[in-house]
């Protein structure tokens, strides 16, 4: 069975209190302050992908397609697509990317997605 869901995600719904807990040191990376360097602070100014999490928090629609083995996330802005396997496989040994390397698994009725290997400056403040 394939399920498709369109959702409007946006910066207006961002709230630190609704985020899951970070691993030690992760919060400092996520909330990294702006530096004044536009290549670091705003990669979209250079036609680069917005990265995670700013791509998920942008005020543009996101399409989620769920099959038994995959979650596909398609962003309207820049048409960035994330393919997340849901079979619990290990992370790939790849270079960091704008949206990281994500793998997922079901724990009962809860979908757990673990992402790592992000391009350093794609993290939003």
Q: Mind listing the pLDDT tens digit of every residue in the chain (125 residues)?
A: 666 555 544 444 556 676 777 778 777 766 667 777 776 677 777 777 766 666 667 777 888 999 989 999 888 877 888 899 999 899 988 888 878 899 999 999 899 999 888 876 544 43
The token pair at 65 is 């397609």
| Contact call for residues 15 and 8 (beta carbons, < 8 A) | no
pTM metric for this prediction: 0.66
Phi and psi angles of residue 6, each rounded to the nearest 5 degrees, phi first:
-105, 135
Instruction: Give per-residue burial for 79-93: e unless 16+ CB within 10 Å, then b.
Output: ebebebebeeeeeee
Whole-number Å distance between alpha carbons of 74 and 93: 23
Total domains present in the chain: 1
Specify the DSSP class assigned to residue 25: T
Task: Show the domain range for 105.
Answer: 3-122
């Amino acid at each position: 069975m394939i399920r498709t869901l369109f959702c409007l995600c946006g910066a207006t719904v961002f709230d630190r209190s609704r985020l899951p807990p970070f691993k030690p040191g992760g919060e400092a990376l996520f909330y990294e302050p702006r530096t004044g360097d536009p290549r670091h602070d705003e990669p979209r100014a250079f036609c680069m992908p917005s990265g995670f999490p700013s791509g998920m928090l942008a005020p543009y629609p996101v399409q989620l397609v769920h099959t038994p083995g995959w979650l596909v996330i398609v962003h309207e802005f820049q048409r960035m697509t994330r393919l997340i396997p849901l079979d619990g496989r290990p992370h790939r040994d790849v270079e960091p990317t704008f949206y990281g390397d994500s793998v997922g698994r079901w724990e009962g009725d809860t979908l757990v997605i673990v992402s790592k290997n992000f391009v350093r400056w794609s993290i939003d403040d």
